[in-house]
Amino acid sequence: MNATPGPFGPELSRRRVLEIFGLGAAGAAVLAACGEHSGNGGGGGGGGGGGEAVFNGAWPYQVPPKGHFNLMAGVTDSINPGAYFDLIFLPGGMYYWDAKKWEPMLAEKWGFDEVAKTFTYTLRKGVKWSDGKDVTSQDVISTFLCRRVMRQTEWQFLSKVEAKDDQTVVFTMNNPSSVVERYIVRANILSSATYGDFGKRAEQLFTSGKDLDSAEGKKLNEELQAWRPKNAQNEVVTNGPFTYDYNSITNAQLTLVKNKKGWAADKVKFDKITLYNGETPTITPLVLAKKVEYATHGFPVATEKQFIAKGIRILRPPVYSGPAIFFNMGKQPEFKDVRVRRAFAHAIKRDEVGKVSLSDSGVAVKFMAGFSDIQVPDWLSSEDQGKLNHYEYDEKKATDLLTQAGWKKQGKSWMKPDGTPAKYELTFPSEYADWSATGANVAQQLSDFGLGVTGRGVTFTQQPIDVDKGNFQLAIQGWGSSSSPHPHFAFVADLFTHNIPVAANQGGKGMDFPLKQDTDTLGKVDLEKAVTNAGEGLDQEAQKKNVATAAVAFNELLPIVPLYERYGNNAALEDHIEGFPADDDPILKNSPYADNFVIMLMFQGKIRPKNS
């Protein structure tokens, strides 16, 4: 970093930054813990002067003892640093969203056999774990058997996984589906040295004909979730170019250190990665202090202006998702009436919510199809697009719908059909600055309409758990998917993630929206089947019909109300780092939360310290 008189330079004091952004003790603590400089390479990254090359990033993680190193997909509170996890545990490959092609990593090649209904995955030879052992097919098998125990979605398509030899894994499909490729290739592979026992138990369970709803299946799921390594440094072995520095983890930051045995360790030009812990309010002063090279947090409008004024570049990749209103239909039976959910949609100015939350990076949803407006023209014909209700802001339509549903207006306030006042609490993750603004604005708009909605922030690690357990009335959670360009994944997020199929991992039903529904347009619809069908088969043209069915059903039933589509306003500091992509580089079409372009370019040695 620049050697300035203070962490914000002469023009902006630490206290003033905390005052401007309301950061209080949390922000102050992180700044104090970080000191005036970060890493051995100075305030920022770099290392061209002969010291260690350090890349400084930011990602929220759960601090021990609650935070832990059971890193299996689906286990909550693990110390999983998001986009940086790919640098620790390799995926089979990463994807270029614009070019629609893969970059092979742990896997050398893969492919479908439609006749045999198999997907074959071949490991790259010579990749080592940090304990010196080879990465083999057994690691892939134990990972996916454990993922099955954790109810990961790919197992809706798969029936079996087995080794052909030490380098080759064969997945047998119930029915061929192109989305299987994404699920398998993007999965981070964990070591059988760590998860092999659970994998063997899973294999015994499933080959005996029992499933996860059996007593044995429930017990295995519970035990896998509850397992914690006694000595993470020995039990958690990695295969990427970095591993955890277990002794460096504090409330403020953790360090990833070079795993010299890891794949691509020779290509990555950094010796360490420092990740500062926290959500937007905590990370903001660090970005302003130029202690962070790259951050993907949802920064508010005023913050972004401060970044630009200090010469910090803003990257705007599409995120292909955003916040939505989720209804608890189990505890609030009035929300089961689709007219009520539609009324909520008509009562909200979505463009206002987006502007208040993220300015130009918050774009109101137009099609309400359940997946990104950017992708709709690729998947829905003009005729199918014409079937979609855009749910424009219209107070009269909202009023008519509630009246038809048996609600009555008394003065300025709505009364529910049972005669009680329509008063609700809307929860949102308090540390997400953009979603906090979203929640506050939505609560105000609905209250102005007479619905008496009060917003309440809940810590970001707890709020989605509360939603899954059904401990909410209204909630802000995510719609769409940043994880894949295929609409199937967006429908999974909309209909499964905080609903009956997946919320069961937390012992609840989430929004408790039944997946078998009656529709005016399509008749009886099984949404679980519709979502599966949206990814079924290997012919994309044939898939489009199934995607259209799921989109039309979602649009009519409106189980959640998407509000706006988020574009990143990623902070990128170029003082000591080179290689961030140009604004018109196609790699910026990648979602920053799936195939993160910074991580991909770091693997290739293109994002590197200056003068290295």
Domains of the chain in start order, with CATH, are 89-225 (3.90.76.10), 240-317+568-609 (3.40.190.10), 319-566 (3.10.105.10)
Task: State how far the Cα of 298 lies from the Cα of 569, in Å rounded to an integer.
Answer: 7
In this structure, the strands spanning 321-327 and 118-123 are: unpaired
Burial class (CB in 10 A: 0-12, 13-18, 19+), 454: middle
Distance (Å, whole) CA 88 – CA 102: 19
Q: State the Cα–Cα distance between residues 178 and 195, nearest whole angstrom.
A: 28
Whether 10 shows a pLDDT value over 60: the answer reads: no
Q: What is the pLDDT of residue 38?
A: 36
Could you tell me which residues come within 8 angstroms of residue 313 by beta carbon, excluding any fewer than 6 positions away?
571, 572, 573, 574, 580
Confidence of residue 175 (pLDDT cuts 50, 70, 90): confident
| Per-residue pLDDT at 46 | 57
Number of Cβ atoms within 10 Å of the Cβ of 542: 10
Does pLDDT of 149 surpass 50? yes
Full-model pTM:
0.79
Region 463-468: what's the mean pLDDT?
A: 94
Q: 565 pairs with which residues across the strands?
A: 363
219 or 48, which is more confident?
A: 219
In the predicted model, is pLDDT for residue 17 greater than 70?
no
525, 553 in Cβ contact below 8 A? Answer: yes
Q: What is the DSSP letter of 256?
A: E
Q: Looking at residue 487, what is its pLDDT?
A: 95
- The burial class, CB within 10 Å (0-12 / 13-18 / 19+), for 441 is buried
Q: Are residues 360 and 562 in contact, defined by beta-carbon separation less than 8 angstroms?
A: no
Of 10, 4, 22, which is closest to residue 303 (Cα–Cα)?
22
Residues 530-558, mean pLDDT to the nearest whole number: 92
Mean pLDDT for 385-412 is 97
Residue 300, preceding peptide bond in cis (omega within 30° of 0): no
Q: Report whether 92 contacts 106 (CB < 8 A).
A: yes
Q: Tell me the two tokens of residue 7.
A: 């962490």
Average pLDDT over residues 228-239: 92
User: What is the bridge-based pairing of β-strands 242-244 and 168-173?
Assistant: unpaired
Mean pLDDT of 499-525: 88
What radius of gyration do the chain's Cα atoms show? 24
Q: Tokens 């795993």 belong to which residue?
A: 259
What is the reported pLDDT for 7? 25
* pLDDT at position 44: 52
Q: Which two tokens stand for residue 85?
A: 């996890």
Of residues 114 and 54, more confidence is placed in: 54
Structure-token pair, residue 282: 């905590």
Q: Are 470 and 330 contacting, i.e. CB atoms less than 8 angstroms apart?
A: yes
Identity of the highest mean pLDDT range in 9-13, 36-40, 242-246: 242-246
Give the residue-averaged pLDDT of 236-253.
96
What's the mean pLDDT when you consider all of the chain?
90
168 touches 120 (CB < 8 A): yes
Q: How far apart are CA 115 and CA 201, in angstroms?
A: 30
- Please give the single-letter amino acid code of residue 392: E
Write out the H or E segment, with its range, that includes residue 426. Answer: strand 424-429
328 burial type by CB count under 10 A (0-12 exposed, 13-18 middle, 19+ buried): buried
Rounded CA gap, 451 and 445, in Å? 9
The predicted model gives 129-134 an average pLDDT of: 96
How far apart are alpha carbons 423 and 567 in whole angstroms?
A: 32
Report pLDDT for 540: 87
On the question of pLDDT at 262 being above 50, the answer is yes
**245 neighbors 255 (Cβ within 8 angstroms):** yes
Taking 70 as the threshold, does the pLDDT of residue 85 lie above it?
Answer: yes
